[in-house]
Amino acid sequence: MIGNTKKWIGMAGAISVLAGQFLVSPAIFAEGGNAVAEGKKISFDRKKGNCLACHNIIGAPSPGNIAPALVAMKSRFPKKEDLRMQIWDATIKNPESAMPPFGKHGILSEADFEKVVEYIWTL
């Protein structure tokens, strides 16, 4: 019985750590800025998010055309959590994806990652 209890406690801990990776950090809103506007800036930044290297975003300068256009995101991802997981690590759904795992590999800081998710979900 004790062995099973330890097993369940360990599993619960692992689940809570994983869930915490996908929750919006209140720190992104405490900075006093607009998370969506800042997320757009990061997404367009060729040295940070660099979404435009592959994706077309309506109205963006020099968008890419090798990945799906970032349009109708709330229709494609009714749950923001699903979009967050896609940006976190696209290889979860498609092991052959060329999209870098922005969250998993720490390409963006946690705060920048959350801002990008907020912006992309508005498209």
pLDDT band at 49 (very low <50, low <70, confident <90, very high): confident
Domain spanning 2-122, CATH architecture:
Orthogonal Bundle (1.10)
What average pLDDT is seen over the chain? Answer: 80
**How confident is the model over 58-86, as pLDDT tens digits?**
989 888 999 999 999 999 999 999 999 99
Is a pLDDT exceeding 50 seen at residue 30? no
Q: What is the DSSP string of the chain?
A: -HHHHHHHHHHHHHHHHHHHHTSPPTHHHHTSS-HHHHHHHHHH-TTTT-GGGT---TT-SS---SS-----HHHH-SSHHHHHHHHH-GGGT-TT--S--TTTTTSS-HHHHHHHHHHHHH-
Indicate the pTM of the whole model: 0.71
Provide the residue ranges of all domains of the chain, joining segments of one domain with +.
Answer: 2-122
